[in-house]
Amino acid sequence: MLHAVTHETDAYNHVCQFAPTLNGRAAYFALFAQYCGRGHFTNERQAAVRVLATLHWNGKARGFTWNTFISRLIGAFNNLELNGDPRSDANKVDVLLEKTVGDSSLSNGRSHITGDAVLRSNFQGAIDYLTTQVLAAGNDNTQRR
């Protein structure tokens, strides 16, 4: 069955060496090792770290909306968690504040979050607060073309 499902895909190269009727289990383990093994998790983690290293919000990039920024940020944190490197909410808030430092219209919002003990350790709450700030300032880039 694995041969039929993976035929003409990149995964086929990992199962073609096993006889279809004799080594189905070995073919499964080969696929599992490739797509769910240590190397895969390392690559996924490195990709998430790379997103966090390069992602930033300055409110000026055309076609890059606040929602896109938040989606990529949350996605990177989710990938880290799925791959064995979870981050605390406080750490996520720190990263969020660091990545939005380029938008001067959010300086009051960042200061408020920094001074509020509840928001400081509540990632979703900090996102919600900054989202209201972005929408109030009108710099979410949804109107630019």
Q: Quick check: is 143 in a domain?
A: no
Which pTM value belongs to this model?
Answer: 0.72
Residues 27 and 84 reside in one and the same domain = no
| Same domain, yes or no: 20 and 52 | no
pLDDT over threshold 70, residue 83: yes
Residues with Cβ < 8 Å from 51, sequence gap 6 or more?
A: 72, 73, 75, 76
Instruction: Give the range of the structural domain holding residue 21, as residue numbers without chain letter.
Output: 2-36
Residues 14 and 65 in one domain: no
pLDDT at 33 over 80: no
Residues 122 and 78 grouped into a single domain: yes
Q: Are residues 64 and 80 in the same domain?
A: yes
Query: Is 67 in the same domain as 18?
Result: no
- Which of 37-46, 59-68, 84-93, 135-144 comes out lowest in average pLDDT? 135-144
In-domain check, residue 142? no
Residue 68 has pLDDT above 70, yes or no: yes
Please, which pLDDT band fits residue 145 given cuts at 50, 70 and 90? very low
Q: How many domains does the chain have?
A: 2
Whole-number pLDDT of residue 20: 60
104-140 pLDDT per residue, tens: 999 999 999 999 999 999 999 999 999 999 998 886 6
